[in-house]
Amino acid sequence: MSRVDVEKTLSQLTLQEKISLIAGASTWRTSAVSRLGIPNLKVSDGPSGARGQIFGENVPAAFLPSGVSLGATWDVELLYELGQLLADECKTKSARVQLAPTMCIHRHPLGGRNFESYSEDPFLTGKLAAAHVRGIQSRGVGATPKHFVANDEETNRFHLNCVIQTRALHEVYLLPFQVVIREADPWCMMTAYNKVNGIHCDMSEHLLTEVARKAWGWDGVFISDWGGTNSTAASINAGLDLEMGGPAAHRTQNKIMKAIEDGTTNVQHIDHSVNRILQLLVKTGRFEDSSDNPEYCGDTPEKREVLFRAASSGAVVLKNERGALPIKPSEQLKRLAIIGPNAQRVVAGGGGSSYINAPYWTSVYGSLQERFAETGTQIDYAVGAKVNRYLPVMSSSVARNPDTGESGGAIDWYLGHDMTGLVQAVTHIQDLYYVSFGNTPAEITEETGFSFRFRTVLTPKTTGKHQLSFASIGPAKLYVDDEILIQLSGEEKGSLFFTYGSDETIIEKDLAAGKEYNITVEVDSHDRQLRTDVVDSMDPMEEKFQGFRLGYQEHDERNLPNEAAGIAQHCDATVVVVGRDKEWETEGQDIPIFELPGEQVELIQQVAAVCKRTIVVVQAGTPVDMSPWIDQVQGVLYTWYQGQELGNSAASIICGEVNPSGRLPITFPKRIQDCPAFSSFPGEQGEIQYSEGLHVGYRWWDLHDTEPLFPVGFGLSYNTFEISDGSLSHSSLLRGGDVVATARVHNRGGCTMPGRQTVIAWCSQKATRRLSRPKKQICGFIKTPPLRVGESCQVQISIDAYSLAMYDPGQAAWVIDKGSQFDILVGPHARDVALVGTIDVLEEISFVHTM
């Protein structure tokens, strides 16, 4: 379908049909107009993989490493390759737009959704995201960079007002999106929930129209975050093309027709949005193929290899003393301890909309055990610490479906609000942290309200006082053997279910090992969306969720850290696997503590005191406080969240099969008080001041000459590298030209495997005149190919005006003043740089978006 055809089709649409196209028809699909052959389009979350339409126990999909781990690769080619993989995955879910990548800035280490995003640095973020978008769209699937803009925390995310100075807004928070538009032209972008300088992003004419459309020349589809449309006329006028998810809340026929009659919006604005949506259907091939096939899992050996390589490339070795790493199976250790709360369980990603049901899972314990299986080494294990933020979800090892005997339980579905009448459907669930969101059985009509009863049989493993916990979205009751133990009104608000639901209520009950107990949960109604008296006070999307969380803790009086130390003292080496998980780091709320949660610090300290070769593996999406224990251990491997290959990738580095090449994309502070946003995060009374201005991340440490624990770019290899012979191709920069920084990277040895090094270029403006600048900022980077011991290569990093310019609010343009001088420094990380030359700017260079 050509552009002429799009214009013709647009002219044939009735006003009512146009209105239907600018709001979703359902949770994951746009509207269709069958009269004119206009198909719908299905979209899918998210940056960790193409989850498909079911939230929770969905059809399995490839689970990618988290965004911060991909940031730690510093590998543009790999991000492109993963984009292609993600597009292919999207097609297995019959979707043509992927809601990825997430590319907000790591402004503060406790940002709840930092794990989804690449870096604290806007240049690195933009370059990696652009490569990812190019990869996705090369396969005919639309990418959706998000969240535009400044969704850098989760506290009060629907209403928070981010007050950002003009230069910081453009040079830090808008810059990654500008880079993506300039280098990849994404077909869609998603607006953020929050306000920027007093106006919700979805209805900001300045951001959507003045900046993105006019200044940057972008003509893709702006999609709201789900429930993130905050008005009818204002969002249409601002340039928001599509309200999602559907059905419409603000863009109903009646509301828009009234707005047109009142003169608060007009058909021309609607035509612009419809045109862009039709163009998206053309780009994604929906007019040629409008099929909506069943979702399936596209697991292949080729995809597994890419995911393993990506996960291995992002893991960062932060400490390695006295050859603690690698622990090679060929050493034939007598005993190896694999200890910690994250050792055996799968901690694949942070929580929220990006979580995936993978086709298979790996754990650090399982993958290490496989590698030592034939060596004669005795493998010892202990959980070592209590770490759960809430009681652990009742596991499949103690809960079974009373109808089928499968692990999990059964749900009986009813029409109406009080479970009267006949059961309409029975489904099985395995995860007892259950969320109903667009995944009700076909027999259930959500518009009329529904209710359900969950049933399972609990068989405890021990005798004694056990703990049960219960939380819900909406009114619910918990029964044990027909005795009601907990009743929730539905009015409670807490930290679970994206903060839509209650906190957990915990009770203690004496239970006997081996005895069967009938557990019943009644979720009384889902009629909140029908109650006009409360729906206006709800957060967006709140009325669309329903669910419960059933927690369970066996009777256990053990001292877990002490027990683990007792095992470790008899071992030649100990791997301690610690960190957070998807209940500590999650969409909907920020991280409550900087420290490792639970008993993990005590665990590390006790083990390190008795085992001379202690390696700590940390699984987390942001830095954790290492000061209490890092000096006591010999090795630290930061693996982030690595998706389905988490165990294999960690084990491959620990065992010396892969030479670690990950480098930090964020600064690790010694103290949380050293962080640039410490004094303002997370704000108060619905507002946050971005008081650090331009000095985000490493720029703040430079400004105050404060030593971080680990600087951005830091990471160890099993080799040592030397960077030398730095030079510049030219000493001056002209408009439209570039200067190439060159250096030689030499692998000086350390192990027999080839290794890779990241080289970062920094610019530091001399004697800034009109506008202040950070002491230095990243203006380029490159990752070497694998280098054998003794081998070297020359790297070239192109530096242009885009990477040197600053935003001048007076001119509303990017500028480099005539006569400006920039020192160019090259090195592996922010605290190890060397001057390679100076660039003189011989003429004033200015541009709005491109030169």
pLDDT higher than 90, residue 444: no
The tally of CA atoms less than 13 A away on the side-chain side of residue 544 is: 18
- Whether the pLDDT of residue 563 is over 60: the answer is yes
Beta bridge partners of 44: 98
CB 148 within 8 A of CB 188: no
Mean pLDDT along residues 804-833? 97
Which pLDDT belongs to residue 537? 60
Structure-block tokens of residue 420 = 């009267």
Mean pLDDT of 677-687: 95
Token pair 């193409």: residue = 50
State the virtual CA torsion across 506, 507, 513, 515 in degrees, nearest 10.
Answer: -110
| Segment 80-101 mean pLDDT | 98
Distance between CA atoms of residues 744 and 726, nearest Å:
7
pLDDT in tens, 400-440: 999 999 999 999 999 887 788 899 999 999 999 998 887 78
> How much is the average pLDDT of 372-394?
95
Residues facing residue 102 across a β-bridge: 146
pLDDT score at 724: 97
Please name the residues in contact with 123: beta carbons below 8 A apart, sequence gap of 6 or more.
Answer: 175, 179, 777, 778, 779, 803
Mark residue 359 as left, alpha or beta (left: phi above 0; alpha: psi -120 to 50; beta: remaining): alpha
Gyration radius of the chain over CA positions: 27
pLDDT at 375 over 90: yes
- Calculate mean pLDDT across residues 3-23: 93
Tell me, rounded to whole angstroms, the distance of Cα 553 from its chain centroid: 29
230-254 residue pLDDT tens: 999 999 999 999 999 999 999 999 9
Per-residue pLDDT averaged across 470-479, rounded? 92
What are the distances in angstroms from CA 772 to CA 122, 820, 825?
18, 13, 19
Lowest mean pLDDT segment, chosen from 361-370, 501-510, 529-538: 529-538
Element (H, E) at 18: helix 15-21
Q: Hunting for tokens 């400006």 — which residue is that?
A: 820
Q: Which of 263-277, 387-401, 566-580 has the least mean pLDDT? A: 387-401
Kindly report, residue by residue over 777-818, the tens digit of the pLDDT: 999 999 999 999 999 999 999 999 999 999 999 999 999 999
Predicted confidence (pLDDT) at residue 48 exceeds the cutoff of 80: yes
Could you tell me the CA-to-CA distances from 550 to 64, 498, 635 in Å, in that order? 28, 16, 37
Rounded to whole angstroms, the Cα distance separating 555 from 597 reads 21
State the DSSP string of 810-837.
TTTEEEE-TT-EEEEEEEEETTEEEEEE
Q: What is the C-alpha separation between 424 and 448, in angstroms, rounded?
A: 14
End-to-end CA distance of the chain: 32
The model's confidence at residue 56, banded by pLDDT at 50, 70 and 90, is: confident
pLDDT at residue number 52: 92
Please report which residue ranges of 530-674 form alpha helices under DSSP H: 560-568, 600-610, 646-654
Return the residue matching tokens 């006329």.
233
Tell me the CA distances in angstroms from 714 to 127, 501, 710, one per residue in order.
19, 40, 6
Distance of alpha carbon 757 from alpha carbon 135, whole angstroms: 24
Catalytic residue set = 225
Q: Which of 181, 226, 183, 270 is nearest to 278 (CA)?
A: 270
- Residue 578: predicted pLDDT: 98
Tell me what pLDDT residue 538 has: 66
What are 134's two structure tokens? Answer: 């190019």
pLDDT, averaged across the chain:
94
- Residue ranges of domains in the chain, CATH in brackets: 318-389+558-661 (3.40.50.1700), 399-553 (2.60.120.260), 720-847 (2.60.40.10)
Distances (CA, A) of 336 to 567, 570, 662: 10, 9, 25
Q: Rounded distance, CA 558 to CA 200, Å?
A: 51
pLDDT-based confidence at 4, cuts 50/70/90? low
The residues pairing with 337 across neighbouring beta strands, listed in sequence order, are: 380, 574
Three-state DSSP class for residue 138: coil
